[in-house]
Amino acid sequence: MDMEWIKLKLKQASAVLGVPPKDLQNLVQLNVLRPPRRDNLYWFDTRLLLQAKVAVYLKATLGTSSEFLGRFTEALSRDVDRAKGTTARYIVLQSSPAGGGDPVEIKIPLRSLASELEKQLPRAEASRDLPRGRKRTGWKREMLASFEEAASDMDKVSQSQIAETIRRYRAERKRLPEVSVARPKAKTA
Instruction: Report, as an integer, the average pLDDT of 95-117.
Output: 78
The whole-number pLDDT of residue 22 equals 92
Q: 71 near 95, Cβ under 8 Å? A: yes
Instruction: Report, as an integer, the average pLDDT of 131-135.
Output: 70
Beta bridge pairs of residue 41: 38
The whole-number pLDDT of residue 164 equals 92
93-102 tens-digit pLDDT: 777 666 666 7
73-90 tens-digit pLDDT: 787 777 776 666 667 788
The whole-number pLDDT of residue 1 equals 39
Q: What is the pTM of this model?
A: 0.52
Amino acid at 124: A
High-pLDDT (> 70) share of the chain, %: 77
The whole-number pLDDT of residue 14 equals 92
Q: Whose CA is closest to 113, among 138, 139, 76, 143?
A: 76
Q: Kindly report the length of the chain.
A: 189
